[in-house]
Amino acid sequence: MEEYNIEPVANDYNDESIVHLEDMEHIRLRPGMYIGKLGDGSSHDDGIYVLIKEVIDNSIDEFTSGFGKRINVKIDFGERRVSIRDFGRGIPLGKIIEAVNKLNTGAKYDSKVFQKSVGLNGVGTKAVNALSSYFKVMAVRDGQCRIAEFCEGKLTSDSGIIRSSEENGTMVEFIPDNKLFGNYHFVNEYVERRIWNYAYLNKGLTLYFNDRRYYSKNGLLDLLEHNMDGEGLYPIVHIKEGDFECAFTHVNGQNSDYYYSFVNGQHTTEGGTHQSAFREAFARVTRDFFKKDYEPAVFRQGLVCALCVRIQEPVFEAQTKTKLGSTHLAPNNADGTNDSPFLKTYVLDILKRHLDNYLHINTATAEAMLQKINQNEKERKEIAGIKKVARESSKKASLNNRKLRDCHIHYNSNHERRLETTIFITEGDSASGSITKSRDVATQAVFSLRGKPRNIMKIQKVDVYKNEELNLLHNALDIDESIDNLRYNNVVIATDADVDGMHIRLLLLTFFLRFYPELIRNGHVYILQTPLFRVRNKQKTTYCYTDEERIEAIKTTSNAEITRFKGLGEISPDEFKNFIGKDMRLDPVILHKDFDIKGVLTFYMGDNSMERREFIMDNLRVEDDESIVVA
């Protein structure tokens, strides 16, 4: 294990070292405290999407309070300008400036005004303002309006209170600051996914994203139907009572249980106490109903569930609100006591009533569920013995072959840099050697493949444990038992940009899609883009990722020396630092809503070689220069 090199610093800690920062200055200096991480938009949890979420959350709070049934979201992808307009009550005009640029200022502290709000700390819109090169807020209330504009959190114009004929509500427009976010871009699919979630969770709300309408009639039932891979083993069970809603079914091929979980409309991608309460309650109720003394995981394996609870003043584990920490439906009393129900008890009581009754009435569903549970138990016993031997083997292989060069911080830790944690999956010693010497040992790990991994289309999960390469890989990621244990936020496939490299990419993606689709569905898998060419002279060096970039670089570089990188191993460690640092180019692997995993994998990775050959030949076209390009 590599260690930190700690260098002594000059002894200049004195009165001048104590600095006071204004609210906006502090957000700009420490953005990670407010939005998790910056990023360039390649990752679904990058800061630019958190900015959008923070503004929409305020509009959602208006809707759930009974004001405004429509929210308009527009993004100009060229200008990177975001506009969000709701039709609620509008920010009180006299406090509009304080509401968007003074921390610890807002109506969410008054639980009588916002009973079950997402935003509680008076931070969200202030962070958007501080981290934007341009920010505009307009509030309309009963024929009066006020508009304020800001730059980097500093007020640049204020219209004062003026007359207006517009509908009541609030409009926020902003452009994230490229001095902080770099050459960022918005990925349409990431934004659309968030918009859909708002629609699923707020019955009666209509959202428009770039003039396309998003509306859900059946809430979480729609969410599950629209996002589930293949057919459920029985009709989706939909339970709703008070502040609790869930929809679930079992599917084949799922390694563990998988959740779309929410609190007050906030997508808790890392779960929390509400998700734990459901998992425990589901296993307990089904175990009692079927009178089977299996391990709890056996009842949940293959379960796909959408879950939402609404509670007063929820406690999240970070400003980005991805994991719930609350244990009760309401906060503690002033004296520290709490007379509101335990979240765990509340969820268990609801499932006891509704699920138990449902299974008694719907015998076909009960039979299908029992069949799946018994199948899970059979597989568990079969795999248990193999896993014991395989794990010992993987430990020895890992030590002897040094396949994994680990990092110091992991995604499943509480470290503030956890969202930066990355593992590069490379092929061969030369490529992994260059990355290993260039990486940030705090957050970047390297896993080295030996040749091409096996095509897993025709094998079962039990065979993964028998294959040393695949067994080592999923043990390195720590996703064998559950994706909740994932050690790295970003799983990056780093292969050569040639035919062999592309084949390895496909084999790895097949492995993840077949056995761990939630890894891709949750936005953890990426493809590393490295330059194909280096164009340089004595004055400058330009790295080119496409032929078009190479041609453009040659035009502007006199006496250019052109190098074609044939593989990652040919890039020196000093150069590699440019490609896996803050300007790293990652292509996200995104599962579209209507993506047929089984069908696509069968066609591209199955035994139908003649069918694939015909497809390739039918989709080739010949350019004028007689080079062959895949259409």
Cα(177)–Cα(128) distance, integer angstroms:
10
From 1.10.260.40, 3.30.230.10, 3.40.50.1220, 1.10.540.10, which CATH number describes the 220-332+340-380 domain?
3.30.230.10
Neighbouring CB atoms inside 10 A of 528's CB total 22
**Rounded average pLDDT over 322-327:** 86
Q: What pairing do the DSSP bridges indicate for beta strands 490-494 and 422-427?
A: parallel
Cα(499)–Cα(410) distance, integer angstroms:
33
Quote the tokens at residue 334: 């002033």
Angle, helix 220-227 to helix 188-201, in steps of 10 degrees:
150
Q: Do 40 and 185 meet the contact criterion of CB atoms below 8 Å apart?
A: yes
Convert the pLDDT of each residue in 485-498 to its tens digit.
Answer: 899 999 999 988 77
Cα(452)–Cα(500) distance, integer angstroms:
8
Instruction: For residue 551, give Cα distances in angstroms to 533, 543, 623.
Output: 10, 12, 18
Q: What is the pLDDT of residue 111?
A: 47
Using only the alpha carbons of the chain, give its radius of gyration: 27
Convert the pLDDT of each residue in 497-551 to its tens digit.
Answer: 778 888 888 889 988 888 888 888 888 999 998 888 999 998 899 999 888 999 9
Q: What is the pLDDT of residue 113?
A: 44
Cα(516)–Cα(522) distance, integer angstroms:
10
Q: Does the pLDDT at position 200 exceed 80? A: yes
Q: What is the pLDDT of residue 626?
A: 35
Q: What is the pLDDT of residue 75?
A: 97
Lowest mean per-residue pLDDT among 316-325, 367-376, 420-429: 316-325
Q: Does the pLDDT at position 115 exceed 60? A: no
Convert the pLDDT of each residue in 548-564 to its tens digit.
Answer: 999 999 998 988 999 99
What's the number of CA atoms in the CB half-sphere (13 Å) around residue 511? Answer: 23
Q: What pairing do the DSSP bridges indicate for beta strands 132-141 and 144-151?
A: antiparallel
Neighbouring CB atoms inside 10 A of 7's CB total 5
Q: What is the pLDDT of residue 458?
A: 73
Q: Does the pLDDT at position 20 exceed 70? A: no
**Rounded average pLDDT over 450-460:** 77
**Rounded average pLDDT over 422-438:** 87
Would you kindly state where each structural domain of the chain is located, as residue ranges?
23-214, 220-332+340-380, 394-630
Cα(253)–Cα(259) distance, integer angstroms:
15
**Rounded average pLDDT over 476-485:** 84
Q: Does the pLDDT at position 29 exceed 80? A: yes
* Residue 332 DSSP class: P
**Rounded average pLDDT over 409-416:** 86
Quote the tokens at residue 344: 């765990």
Give the CA-trace dihedral at 545, 551, 552, 557, to 10 degrees: 110
Convert the pLDDT of each residue in 119-148 to its tens digit.
Answer: 544 468 999 999 999 999 999 999 999 999
Q: What is the pLDDT of residue 416?
A: 80
Q: Does the pLDDT at position 608 exceed 50? A: yes
| 539 alpha carbon, distance to own chain's centre | 41
Convert the pLDDT of each residue in 152-185 to its tens digit.
Answer: 999 999 999 999 999 999 999 999 999 999 989 9
Instruction: Provide the whole-model pTM.
Output: 0.79
Quote the tokens at residue 412: 């499943």
Convert the pLDDT of each residue in 226-264 to its tens digit.
Answer: 888 778 999 999 999 999 999 999 998 777 788 899 998
Q: Which of 534, 528, 527, 529 is nearest to 565 (CA)?
A: 534
Q: Does the pLDDT at position 399 exceed 50? A: no
Lowest mean per-residue pLDDT among 333-337, 432-436, 578-582: 333-337
Q: What is the pLDDT of residue 14?
A: 60
Please report the DSSP string for 241-308 in residue order.
Answer: ETTEEEEEEE-TT-SS-EEEEEETTEE-TT-BHHHHHHHHHHHHHHHHHHT----HHHHHTTEEEEEE
Q: What is the pLDDT of residue 10?
A: 56
Q: What pairing do the DSSP bridges indicate for beta strands 525-529 and 490-494?
A: parallel
**Rounded average pLDDT over 387-415:** 70
Q: What is the pLDDT of residue 595?
A: 66
- Under the banding of pLDDT at 50, 70 and 90, the label for residue 630 is very low
Q: What is the pLDDT of residue 274?
A: 93
> What's the CATH class of domain 23-214?
alpha beta
Q: What is the pLDDT of residue 110?
A: 45
- Under the banding of pLDDT at 50, 70 and 90, the label for residue 629 is very low
Q: What is the pLDDT of residue 575?
A: 85
Q: What is the pLDDT of residue 390?
A: 58
What percentage of the chain reaches a pLDDT higher than 90?
Answer: 47
Q: Does the pLDDT at position 456 exceed 90? A: no
**Rounded average pLDDT over 1-11:** 51
Amino acid at 102: K
- Alpha helices by DSSP H, listed for 65-136, are 96-101, 124-130
The fold for domain 394-630 equals Rossmann fold (3.40.50)
- Under the banding of pLDDT at 50, 70 and 90, the label for residue 106 is low
SS3 170: strand
